[in-house]
Amino acid sequence: MRVALPLAAALALAVSGCSERGLSPSAERGRQVYLAQCTACHNTDPGQPGSVGPPVRGSSRALLEAKVLSGTYPPGYTPKRPTKVMVPLPAVAPEIAALADYLR
Ligand code: HEC
């Protein structure tokens, strides 16, 4: 089985090479969720304003939980916009940690 080792190493490299900018598996998962659920309104680059929504890079887990799950903000947080255009997306609840890892 001496040939198997280099093969396995090459495979591991190829697989890890798939994620952009060396994201952790959780952040990569968060990126997929962000691209699928959020970029209708937010920019594909979370640091830029989107067609409808503001930049969201740096959003904390507490902010994501409040805004994405219930359309509110954590106590004391000053929203970037006073509007209430964004619909809550409670189905994203299991992915909040991954989203926070991606957006941090
Ligand atoms: C229907 C369009 C739309 C979708 C889809 C959407 N957003 Fe938003 N988002 C907005 C708008 C517009 C705002 C500005 C506040 C408002 O009007 O609700 C906002 C605000 C936010 C904020 C608060 C920013 C701040 O610091 O004040 C966060 C965080 C956020 N969105 C994250 C997300 C995430 C994560 C997703 C995907 C799971 C998402 N949004 C999906 C439109 C959207």
CA of 68 relative to ligand 1 center, distance in Å:
7
Instruction: Return the residue whose CA atom lies nearest to atom 43 of ligand 1.
Output: 86
pLDDT computed for residue 1 by the predictor: 58
> Candidates 86, 95, 96: which one to mutate for ligand 1, based on the most atoms within 8 Å of Cβ?
86
Delineate the domains of the chain, giving CATH numbers in brackets: 24-103 (1.10.760.10)
How far apart, in whole angstroms, are the C-alpha atoms of residue 59 and residue 44?
A: 15
Task: Please state the pTM of the whole predicted model.
Answer: 0.86
pLDDT tens sequence across 31-56: 999 999 999 999 999 999 999 999 99
pLDDT computed for residue 13 by the predictor: 47
15 vs 93, more confident:
93
Whether 82 lines ligand 1, by a CB cut-off of 6 Å, is no
Whether 27 lines ligand 1, by a CB cut-off of 6 Å, is no
pLDDT at 83 > cutoff 70: yes
Contact 91, 20 (CB under 8 A): no
How far apart, in whole angstroms, are the C-alpha atoms of residue 79 and residue 101?
A: 20
Phi-psi region of 65 (alpha: psi -120 to 50; beta: other; left: phi over 0): alpha
Q: In the predicted model, what is the mean pLDDT of the chain?
A: 89
